[in-house]
Amino acid sequence: MTELIGHFIGGDSFKGDGSTSPIFNPATGRRSADLLHATPADVNVAVMAAHQAFPGWAATTPLRRARVLNRFLGILQDRTDELAAAITNEHGKILSDAKGEIQRGVEVVEFATAAPQLLKSEYTESVGTGVDSFGLRQPLGIVAGITPFNFPAMVPMWMFPVAIACGNCFILKPSERTPTAALLLARYLKEAGLPDGVFNVVNGNKTAVDALLNHPHVSAVSFVGSTPIARYIYETAARNGKRAQALGGAKNHMVIMPDADLDQAVDALMGAAYGSAGERCMAISVAVPVGEKTADALAERLAPKVQALKIGPGTDPDSEMGPLVTLQHRDRVQNYIDAGVDEGAKLLVDGRGLKLQGYDDGFFIGGSLFDNVTPDMKIYCPSSNALRQFAA
């Protein structure tokens, strides 16, 4: 029987009665679970759980909050393998990439454990005749985090440890493609002694997002994802009087000068372009060599490295790149490669049509490399409309 993944509200599992969507293991292409999508009523249950927990947590001293986070830190370090396996099974990235993202999240938890020092206020005497000045740091209330599929542990941990350390309650809405990491984090926090309702997870799609953006008890929203959605999140949250931060997508360039160490540049490009199957906003997707001689030498060194990439399931320790997260994403990338060929770019390494024995239904595509790409091509600027909107 297929596992049914729900939510985490008020310190325990919560099912609700929303619709479901399938979750797949990208390496096998097989359906691994069904995900329950939160209805507005389900989101309201989470918000009210946080609303009820807030006064007690806000009144908890920073020292006691930091102790909970310190215990959570220890649990994270002990359960890294469990969390990394969950990430690999739903995202597809290789285990070393999954462990790397967990470590980046751990660093933020470590920072948040310094809350007693960081939350100290200021006091200034005699700023005017008989006037002293002081500041108070007070929690906002309920903070929501809306996070992407590509870093299901790291990006949430950019958000909730600091929010919780400051005395806020938190509601996490992870990507519907990779929900399990968020639920594991919720379990670890409960085990660390976090009071029920301080941290909640609601799974779902735009319905859940809109319910959070429009709920009067949600004071602030943090988002990481695509640029068009970032714009929507920011505008909607601001319209409702909420504090908002929204980080959009990126298309990063590496400029290679004629005097560069090309072997070092190639190594950097391989990790930056093909790590996590390129599914990250900090991936370097465009190399800009200065001069034809530099370009020729770079292509000569880079193409064999891309061709030799070991593609396989993320659980295989020999794999250097895993599958893409969904079949639709794999097909989209393949369509971009088709477009690049049609528009006249030179395809040096073609990753299309890759089939792995035993993983024939997996969402795999091989490493691919284009040369002679111009700025007007679709593969250079696939989100041109979004970029034009952002620039405006």
CA 115 from centroid of its chain's CA atoms: 24
Residues 6+ apart with CB under 8 A from 169: 50, 51, 53, 54, 57, 141, 142, 143, 197, 198, 199, 200
Tokens representing residue 104 in the block:
């980046």
User: Are the CB atoms for 79 and 184 separated by under 8 Å?
Assistant: yes
Q: Is 169 a catalytic residue?
A: no
Rounded CA-CA distance 72/390 in Å is 38
Rounded CA-CA distance 294/292 in Å is 5
What are phi and psi for residue 73, nearest 5 degrees? -60, -45
How many DSSP H helices and E strands does the chain contain? 13, 16
Please choose, from the candidates 302, 288, 287, the residue with its C-alpha nearest in 3D space to the C-alpha of residue 349.
Answer: 302
Which H or E run includes 226? none
Tokens representing residue 120 in the block:
């100290």
Catalytic residue selected from 166, 169, 281, 381: 281
Distances in whole angstroms, Cα of residue 294 to Cα of each of 198, 218, 371: 55, 53, 13
- Output the CA angle 69-72-78, nearest 5 degrees: 150
User: Are the CB atoms for 14 and 8 separated by under 8 Å?
Assistant: yes
Rounded CA-CA distance 258/261 in Å is 9
Please choose, from the candidates 41, 106, 34, 95, the residue with its C-alpha nearest in 3D space to the C-alpha of residue 70.
Answer: 106
Catalytic positions: 281
